[in-house]
Amino acid sequence: MRLEFVRLRRIMKMHNGYLTEQYENGYTPNPDILCNKYIKFDHFFNFACNKLQADAIATGHYVRTSFGSYLEHFKPDTNVSLFQARDAEKDQTFFLCQVPQQALRYSMFPLGEYLKKDVKQIAWKAGLDKVALKRESRGICFVGKRNFQNFISKYISDKPGDFVDLDDGRVVGKHMGFHHWTIGQNIKISGFPAAYYVYKKDINTNNIIVVKGTHNSALYSELIITETPYWISSEPEFNSFSRLLNCDLRFQHRDPLVSCTVHKNLKNQLIIQLSQPLRAITEGQFVTLYNGEECLGSAVISYCGPSYYSLNQEVKMDHYRGNNETQKRIADASI
Active site residue ranges: 35, 141
| C-alpha neighbours within 13 Å on the C-beta side of residue 118 | 10
* Residues 199-205: contacts with CB under 8 Å, at least 24 apart: 199/166, 200/166, 201/26, 203/25, 203/26, 203/178, 205/161
DSSP 198-215: EEEEETTTTEEEEEESTT
Phi and psi at 253, nearest 5°, equal: -50, -50
DSSP 115-128: -HHHHHHHHHHTT-
Distance of CA 299 to the CA centre of its chain: 9
Rounded Cα distance between 238 and 52, Å, is: 42
Are 277 and 308 spatial neighbours (Cβ–Cβ below 8 Å)?
yes
* Of 276, 334, 261, 326, nearest in space to 303 by CA: 334
Are 224 and 274 spatial neighbours (Cβ–Cβ below 8 Å)?
yes
Rounded Cα distance between 147 and 130, Å, is: 25
